[in-house]
Amino acid sequence: MKSRLKGFTLVEILIVVGIIGLILTLLVISLNSKQRQIRDSKRISDMQTLRSALEVVKNETGGYDQAYCDLTFVSLCSKKENSVLVKVMPGLVKTNDPKVLDVSCANAGACADKGCNYSFTRLEPTDYEILFNLEKGVNEFNLGGCYKVTPAGIIKM
């Protein structure tokens, strides 16, 4: 009489490994999508905070230009000693894109699709423009790409 060993066949093991691989792939894709959404939410929050701070600057001094920021990365304005914006928004030094730090949004190609760090592109007594990028979009800003912040609000470019 032959005794038969019980166990799994190679085909059964390969099927289980394939199913586990598929589940892990779907989990990673879902996690990456959620991370993009979280970064986009932070970007919108940063821009709303910055917009409010610039309104305070204008109300206290009579003009947005009193922020004395250069047309470059928003966070670099924190180095300006005479900037009213720095006084209104002490965390300005940390106001950077959560993913891309070294590429200016003034670069149209980077702003449109590659990602970039928040950048002033205009700062005048009665007007300003700050560019930033969303990866995927979130809430009412549901498209990825380049956006601008102005006294009128946040606008898709």
The rounded distance, in Å, linking the Cα atoms of 110 and 49 is 23
Residue 117 predicted with pLDDT over 90? yes
Residues 6+ apart with CB under 8 A from 18: none
Residue 46 predicted with pLDDT over 60? yes
Q: Residue 113's pLDDT band (boundaries 50, 70, 90)?
A: confident
What burial letters (b/e) apply to 55-90, b meaning 16+ CB within 10 Å?
eebbeebebbbbbbbeeebbbbbbeeeebbbbebbe
Q: How many CA atoms lie within 13 A of 122 on its CB side?
A: 10
pLDDT recorded at residue 48: 96
**Residue 26 β-bridge partners:** none
Residue 146 predicted with pLDDT over 60? yes
Pick the closest to residue 50 from 21, 73, 34, 32 (CA basis): 73
Q: Residue 2's pLDDT band (boundaries 50, 70, 90)?
A: low
The rounded distance, in Å, linking the Cα atoms of 87 and 68 is 12
Torsion angles phi and psi, residue 118, rounded to 5: -50, 135
Q: Can you say whether the dihedral through the CA atoms of 157, 114, 134, 43 is positive or negative?
A: negative
The structure's pTM equals 0.81
CB 48 within 8 Å of CB 140: no
pLDDT recorded at residue 82: 87
Q: Residue 9's pLDDT band (boundaries 50, 70, 90)?
A: confident
Residue 1 predicted with pLDDT over 60? no
